[in-house]
Amino acid sequence: MTVKAWLDTAIQDAERRGLPALKPLLEALARSTAALRTADWNADATGEPDAAHVQHGH
Amino acid sequence: MGTEPRTIAEVARALDERTTTAEAITERCLERIAERDSSINAFITVLAAQAREQARDADRERAAGQSRGPLHGVPVSLKDIIDVGGTPTTAASRVRNDHVAARDATVVQRLRDAGAVIVGKTNLHEFAFGTTNEDSAFGPVRHPLDPSRSPGGSSGGSAASVLADMAYASIGTDTGGSIRIPAAACGLVGLKPALHEVPLDGIVPLSETMDHVGPICRTVADAAIVYRALCGEREPRIAPREASGIRLGVLRGYFTALLDAQVAHAFDQACARLSDAGVVLEDVTLAHAGDIAAVYLHIVLAEAAAYHAMTLDNRPDDYTTNVRIRLEMGRYILAQDYVRAMRGRELLRGEVDAAISGRDGLLLPALAVPATKLGASTVRVGGSEEPVRNITLRLTQLFNITGHPAISVPCGKTIEGLPIGAQLVGPARQTSALLAVATAVEAQLGPGVSR
């Protein structure tokens, strides 16, 4: 699941649960998650050391 | 306090010399709680009757020549997230309304074994999930030096109780800085021992792989006394060190890039004083320092959400609004991202080990800003508005990720008189060595505001 798909799903779920205040926090968390996924320590199944995880949609 | 003893070491000496009694010392602490706590709000539960009884027991034992060591008869407070048998552990939350602890946490039992007198349980940020204490079912803790400000958190009531002379030490917990942040904000010494060194049973968890328990005191010597008791040993065994020849890495880059101007100035002055005293200071950086916040966030949110999942579903309205929302955020973290964060954690641990290698430890500011205003969600730092939570965690959370022992010691004051703290980080699992270095550093930097 890409970060964007995750964020869209999370916001929809939060609104369904009556927690609209979560939206800005989830958006901030999404930025943090994107940074985490692009960090250079992540392993990739292709064996490529610098795989761009967000672009590949992991 | 006038000529009254100000530190645990001074109390122990006075009790040994029979110039005072544990009962008298305890009574003064209880009087100050009665006098000042309606405005500071440091305590959730005051255990006056039990404390008086424990103090009288200590006096009887000392009179019979049965000293238990330097904590014997000394009043201490406990963050109200630590179980005392027969007493509520509220965690500053309505979620815990009907809770009564069945037994003492191991750390409490060890304090009792060392003869400490437990005067009460202190206020905190609800479930220790915040750095200001504003989100508490019992109302905010106010800084004893400026009631418009937070004493820092989440162990804010603990720090306030020591600063306001209501206890000689307090036991706090630290998952991202919750001992070191309030210690720095209050001009006190706050020790986060090494990960897994002090038992956590009987303590409400926040993040089970990053939680620590340790003391807030007035001096490093006092922190060492309490630390040894928490480890089950009564006497401090710190090999004294001279400042000259100590070798410290000064963390730069991320760690000094975003500091309040007065904090930066005080830290630079502290480095100069240490250098003049013969401490060898060498600038160091960490390659992945920019990833610290993301790693921390994905671990703490996921672990906290796991612990709170059932009560978030069943009793959501019993949480304060802000804490509930942050806990809910953790329920959306994917397992794969938690695993990525744990991989990053190992990398950061290795980088901190490498930075310390060949040195006695690391030096950096403890808190990037002075005590923040109650009600403020952001604070201005270096020309930008920073979220209070992010800026207060910025310099401490790394060592919860890596587990290295770390201690905050006072290193100056702002022109408004607000305390500023420096942080020392020791080699992995070497808390006693860190305390020895901290003793030498403290001697060069001078006393905190409370001494």
CATH code assigned at B398: 3.90.1300.10
CA atoms within 13 A on the CB side of A53: 21
- Whether the CB-CB separation of B401 and B431 falls below 8 Å is answered with no
Look at residue B274 and tell me if it is in a domain: yes
Contacts with A31 (C-beta within 8 Å, 6 or more apart), sequence order: none
Q: Take residue A56 and report the two structure tokens written for it.
A: 């590949």
- Whether the CB-CB separation of B213 and B154 falls below 8 Å is answered with no
Please tell me the distance in Å from A15's CA to the nearest CA on chain B.
12
Look at residue B312 and tell me if it is in a domain: no
Q: Per-residue DSSP letters for B125-180?
A: SGGG--SSS-S-TT----BTTBTTB---SSSHHHHHHHHTTS-SEEEEEESSSTTH
Q: Where exactly are the structural domains of chain A?
A: 1-38
- Please tell me the distance from the alpha carbon of residue B342 to that of residue B156, in angstroms, as a whole number: 29
> Which of B288, B321, B328, B332 should one mutate to test binding to chain A, selecting the residue with the greatest count of A CBs within 10 A?
B332
Contacts with B314 (C-beta within 8 Å, 6 or more apart), sequence order: none
To which residue do tokens 């304090």 refer? B111
- Please tell me the distance from the alpha carbon of residue B85 to that of residue B94, in angstroms, as a whole number: 19
Residuewise pLDDT in 10s, chain B (451 residues): 447 899 999 999 999 999 999 999 999 999 999 999 999 999 999 999 999 999 999 999 999 999 999 999 999 999 999 999 999 999 999 999 989 999 999 999 999 999 999 999 999 999 999 999 999 999 999 999 999 999 999 999 999 999 999 999 999 999 999 999 999 999 999 999 999 999 999 999 999 999 999 999 999 999 999 999 999 986 567 887 999 999 999 999 999 999 999 999 999 999 999 999 999 999 999 999 999 999 999 999 999 999 999 999 999 999 999 999 999 999 999 999 999 999 999 999 999 999 999 999 999 999 999 999 999 999 999 889 999 999 999 999 999 999 999 999 999 999 999 999 999 999 999 999 999 999 999 999 986 544 4
* 3-class state of residue B81 by DSSP: coil
Q: Residue B239's pLDDT is what? A: 80
To which residue do tokens 């480095």 refer? B271
- Whether the CB-CB separation of B366 and B331 falls below 8 Å is answered with no
Look at residue B313 and tell me if it is in a domain: no
Chain B residues closer than 8 Å to A35 by CB = 290-291, 294
- Whether the CB-CB separation of B22 and B55 falls below 8 Å is answered with yes
* Contact residues, chain B to chain A, C-beta under 8 Å: 288, 290-291, 293-295, 297-298, 301, 321, 325-326, 328-329, 332-334, 336-337, 340-341, 343-344, 347
Q: Take residue B412 and report the two structure tokens written for it.
A: 């100056």
Low-confidence ranges of chain A (pLDDT < 50): 51-58
Please tell me the distance in Å from A6's CA to the nearest CA on chain B.
9
Question: Which domain range does residue B123 map to?
Answer: 1-286+359-451
Q: Residue A45's pLDDT is what? A: 87
pTM exceeds cut of 0.80: yes
User: For chain B, how many structural domains are there in total?
Assistant: 1
- Please tell me the distance from the alpha carbon of residue B371 to that of residue A44, in angstroms, as a whole number: 43
Q: How does DSSP classify residue B203?
A: B
Look at residue B342 and tell me if it is in a domain: no
Q: Take residue B350 and report the two structure tokens written for it.
A: 């290795």
Q: Per-residue DSSP letters for A1-54?
A: --HHHHHHHHHHHHHHTT-TTHHHHHHHHHHHHHHHHHSTT---TT--TT--HH
Q: Take residue B152 and report the two structure tokens written for it.
A: 């820092």
Q: Residue B245's pLDDT is what? A: 96
Look at residue B322 and tell me if it is in a domain: no
Buried b (16+ CB within 10 A) or exposed e, B134-173: bbbbbebbbbbbbeebbbbbbbbbbbbbbbbbbbbbbbbb
In this structure, the strands spanning B189-192 and B406-413 are antiparallel
State phi, psi for B214 to the nearest 5 degrees: -170, 180
Q: Residue A58's pLDDT is what? A: 36
- Whether the CB-CB separation of B258 and B400 falls below 8 Å is answered with no
Active site residue B79: yes
Please tell me the distance in Å from A32's CA to the nearest CA on chain B.
5
- Listed residue (B69, B95, B67, B68) closest to B81, CA to CA: B95
Active site residue B154: yes
Instruction: Identify the closest residue of chain A to B325 by CA–CA distance.
Output: A22
Kindly tell me the burial class for residue A36, based on how many C-beta atoms sit within 10 Å of its own C-beta (0-12, 13-18, 19 or more). buried
Q: Take residue B133 and report the two structure tokens written for it.
A: 């204490």
Indicate the residue of B321, B332, B344 with minimum beta-carbon distance to A36.
B344
